[in-house]
Amino acid sequence: MGTNVYEKCRKYDAFGFAAREKAEGKIRQLGISFHDTPELLDEILGQYAGIFDFIQLQVNYADWEQPNVQSRRCLEIARKYGKPVTVMEPCKGGTLVNLPDEAEKLLRAYAPNASNASWALRFAASQPEVTRVLSGMNTMEQVLDNTALTHGKASECIGCGQCEKACPQHLPITEHLKAVAARFEAGSSFPTRK
């Protein structure tokens, strides 16, 4: 959602259509992925906040005060309207993983075993409005590093079963995670997408 998309949505009553579909139970959770100024987000939510369940924003420490993104101010607007935030681009497309040597040395001095990605993910996840962080992983090592942030141990699921209770497909997630960890620890490779 940005200026051009917003104008089209207004012109063709996309928000009204989405609200009707939601009222009929055809949409459970409605949100927008937002890519514009905090002022536009404020305008959109000022008129349509009632139909949105969440907002997806680009949030990372590099874009916190960046004029063309303004992560901090967009989060403030989401807070103003009581909207939970799903984060996209927490690692800024890999930029915050491949840091300049001087920046990486500062992070390593503070926590030698923490990955660069973990710093970016923690920053995004620590914002009060944030309920989800989409990390964009490409390798099993990245999956395990990211899961270590929430479970404390990369190679083991804590086995609480909360994910299975919340899964609408009733998948045996705990067993899947254990199998993946065992395969990874055994040194097996995983197929990659082409």
DSSP per residue, the chain: --HHHHHHHHHTTHHHHHHHHHHTTS-SS-EEE--S-HHHHHHHHHHHGGG-SEEEEE--SSSSS-TTT-HHHHHHHHHHTT--EEEE-TTGGGTTTS--HHHHHHHHHH-TT--HHHHHHHHHHTSTTEEEE-----SHHHHHHHHHHHHS-TT------HHHHH-TT---HHHHHHHHHHHHHTT-------
Judged against a pLDDT cut of 80, whether residue 94 lies above it is answered with yes
The mean pLDDT value for 48-55 works out to: 94
Confidence of residue 191 (pLDDT cuts 50, 70, 90): very low
Judged against a pLDDT cut of 60, whether residue 157 lies above it is answered with no
pLDDT number for residue 152: 45
To the nearest whole percent, how much of the chain has pLDDT over 70?
A: 81
pLDDT number for residue 187: 56
Confidence of residue 192 (pLDDT cuts 50, 70, 90): very low
Confidence of residue 113 (pLDDT cuts 50, 70, 90): confident
Confidence of residue 158 (pLDDT cuts 50, 70, 90): low
The mean pLDDT value for 81-104 works out to: 91
Mean pLDDT of the residues in the chain: 84
pLDDT number for residue 154: 42
pLDDT number for residue 160: 72
Q: All domains of the chain, ordered by start, with CATH?
A: 3-136 (3.20.20.100), 137-194 (no CATH)
